[in-house]
Amino acid sequence: MSLFQKTVINKYLNQQDKNLLTEKWEAYKSHFHNPIIKENIRTSKEEQYQGEFLIDLFVNVLGYTKNPTPDYNLDTELKNIKDSKKADGGIIIDGKIIGVIELKGTNTTDLSKVEVQAFGYKNNQPDCVYIITSNFEKLRFYIDNAVENVEFNLFQLSETDFQLLYLCLAFDNIKNGIPKRPER
């Protein structure tokens, strides 16, 4: 079962700014396809790279603004409403947390083992729709539940797969609710 219908993907990809997509693809490739950077990421511990990962992917490629920059829409160490547990990141739209990000090091090879923790954070944020888990090499994107996801291998992403990643996760697309549209 697929998270998105191919015709819906094509419809929304055709609405994306082609020049911006090309620019972001180049920025993405120069970082995540660089063999030295990939090796450095693989040997980094979770705590060493998690903040930089959010900058490298979410800020530099996907168009987010990270706290403490004014009018930020990406925050770190996002605390649950009812306990002291914290997600590694959160996407904020109009003051509401609509996405949680849970990161692990590359030594966590099975991202399904992160689902319970990530969805625990989602369940503590009443407006949360999007769940993202990553081990810096792979990234999984969920909408509402753990039944379906789309997984991206960040170190081997083709330009076509990058376009889907961008469609799913770019700030403007998340802000406009494109991944959650009912016709998906």
- pLDDT for 83-134, tens place per residue? 667 888 999 999 999 999 999 999 999 999 999 999 988 988 899 999 999 9
Domain range 6-174, CATH class: alpha beta
Give the domain ranges of the chain: 6-174
pLDDT score at 37: 97
Amino acid identity of 115?
E
In this structure, the strands spanning 86-93 and 96-103 are antiparallel
Q: What three-state secondary structure class fits 45?
A: coil
pLDDT score at 182: 56
- Is the pLDDT at 1 greater than 50, yes or no? no
- pLDDT for 46-79, tens place per residue? 999 999 999 999 999 999 999 999 999 999 987 7
Question: In 3D, which of 171, 146, 174 has the Cα closest to residue 3?
Answer: 146
DSSP state letter for 66: B
- 30: Cα within 13 Å, side-chain hemisphere: 9
Strands, E, within 50-114: which ranges? Answer: 74-79, 86-93, 96-103
Peptide bond before 68: cis, by omega within 30 degrees of 0? yes
* Residue 153 φ/ψ, nearest 5 degrees: -95, 105
pLDDT score at 2: 60
Q: What predicted TM-score, i.e. pTM, was given to this entire model?
A: 0.91
DSSP state letter for 50: H
pLDDT score at 14: 80
Q: Is residue 172 very low, low, confident or very high in pLDDT (cuts 50, 70, 90)?
A: very high
